Chain A
Amino acid sequence: MNIRNGQSQITLPPAVGNFRLFFAAGAICILAAFAARPSFAADQPPLRLNGHAIQVQKIISSEVKLPAAFQYAIYENTLEEIKKSARFKTVYREGDKAAAGAADLLVLETDATGFKEGSARERQVTTVAGATTIKVHIKLLDKDGKVVLERDVQGKVHFFGENMNATHALAKSIAKVLKENFIAPKPGATS
């Protein structure tokens, strides 16, 4: 303790200062890693399916009122993430006429089953409150309408970011489910 001009001042050794700095940096890294992370309702063994083409249907919300912006964002982000996953040679949008001629076409149906709109302000101020959660039930159907794959998936934004980031997390989760259950197409294969 240093005493100057009658006032006491605690001087911490440099090692303590460094420790605090590293601790803060570590905490931030952990929070960042968990923010808007994709999560799954259930873990099931991978199926190792084959698929050449997939058509993504627009999002329906039979059980909850999902704002239009969220529906569109989930749809567009899902298309993007499935393309990135490289498990299908061709990814079609709903209504695309070219999909009619595609062999081994699978259709992805997404139904929103849960939606809790949090508050970005609450998240940023309190860190622990105000999470946004979107839950969906996805179904992958073949040309005969037979269900090939069915899962409950959810996307969350916990700590940082705007509510819309939950749609990106959800899309990533959907793409991850497909990636885990499908094997990558061979380079020579055609759809």
Chain B
Amino acid sequence: MDRYRTIVFLCTIAFCVAFSSAEANAQSAPPNEHPGRAVHILGFADAPKNLKCTLVVEGSSLKLKSKGHDQEVLLTSIEDVLTGADSVRAIGGTLGTISMFGPYGSGRFLSLFRKKTSTLTIEYRDADGGYHGAVFSLDQGQSEPLKKQLVAAGAHTSVPIEQTPATAAKPASGGAQ
């Protein structure tokens, strides 16, 4: 039993070391390796929550491309585009939940490893004038180029690109400008 526990413990450490080096490699990767790759958190047209997708600026619209869930929003209807910073657990989902039951607090240890991400938030109006707020999570450094693309193509923003802070916060009124 002791031998089994030792093996499990060593495997966990090996896994963590391997993963942390992989994470370091991922962070040093060039930012444009997967342009537009995002996770749709919520709010973009009828796309489901937590949908892995690709965001593309094509013609006069922002398109969310994903198997069976393609959606688009006209750039002229976008009233605000903001970027921000966030982080997510490096090992998430089902595996992340299972890891919580690991021995010797290994689940908590794995929680120390987090991946930096950037967020892209879009405020737009639908055809009926209804207000929508969409939130996307992208790889670190990916939201700024996409924001530039959107603004260049005709979308509006309340925070000019040059002055965009690391964590965008809405003005006191909370409304789009």
A69 and B89 contact, CB distance less than 8 A: no
Given the interface pairs A61-B174, A124-B108, the reply to whether A66 lies near B169 with Cβ below 8 Å is yes
- Chain A residues closer than 8 Å to B42, beta-carbon distance: 72-73, 76-77
Q: Is B141 an interface residue (CB 8 A)?
A: no
A92 to B132, CA, bound (A): 11
**Do the beta carbons of A96 and B43 come within 8 Å of each other?**
no
Q: CA A65 – CA B114 in complex, angstroms? A: 25
Shortest CB distance A82–B (Å): 14
Complex alpha-carbon distance, A65 and B80, angstroms: 17
User: Looking at the complex, which one of B43, B108, B135, B174 makes contact with A125 (CB distance below 8 Å)?
Assistant: B108
Q: A75-B133, A162-B88 are in contact. Are A97 and B123 (CB under 8 A)?
A: no
Q: Is the interface of A mostly helix, strand, loop or mixed?
A: mixed
CB distance from B106 to the nearest CB of A (A): 12
Chain A residues, CB < 8 A from B89: 120, 124, 162
A60 contacts which of B84, B129, B133, B173 (Cβ < 8 Å)? B173
Contact of A61 among B43, B128, B170 (CB under 8 A): B170
Knowing A71-B133, A76-B133, the reply to whether A98 touches B174 (Cβ < 8 A) is no
- The reply to whether B132 and A71 form a contact with Cβ atoms under 8 Å apart is no
Residue of B nearest to A76 (CB): B43
Interface string of B155-174 (1 = CB under 8 A from A): 00000000000011110111
Q: Tell me, yes or no, whether A164 is within 8 Å of chain B by CB.
A: yes
| B interface bracket (residues with beta carbon within 8 Å of A) | 35 or more
Q: B121 in the interface, Cβ–Cβ < 8 Å?
A: yes
CB pair A69–B119 under 8 Å, yes or no, is: yes
Q: Which of A144-177 contact B (CB under 8 A)?
A: 162-164
Query: Is B15 at the interface (CB under 8 A from chain A)?
Result: no
**Residue in B111, B132, B135 whose CB lies within 8 Å of A124:** B111
On chain B, the residues within 8 Å of A15 by CB distance are: none
B residues near A (Cβ < 8 Å) are 41-43, 80, 82, 84, 86-89, 108, 111-112, 114, 119, 121, 123, 125-126, 128-135, 167-170, 172-175
12 more A-B residue pairs beyond the given contacts A93-B126, A95-B130, with a C-beta to C-beta distance below 8 A: A60-B173, A66-B170, A67-B84, A67-B168, A68-B123, A68-B170, A72-B43, A72-B135, A75-B133, A95-B125, A96-B128, A120-B114
Give the 3 A-B CB pairs with smallest separation, nearest first.
A72-B133, A93-B130, A124-B111
Q: Give chain A's interface residues, CB within 8 Å of chain B.
A: 58-62, 65-69, 71-73, 75-77, 92-98, 112, 120-121, 124-125, 162-164
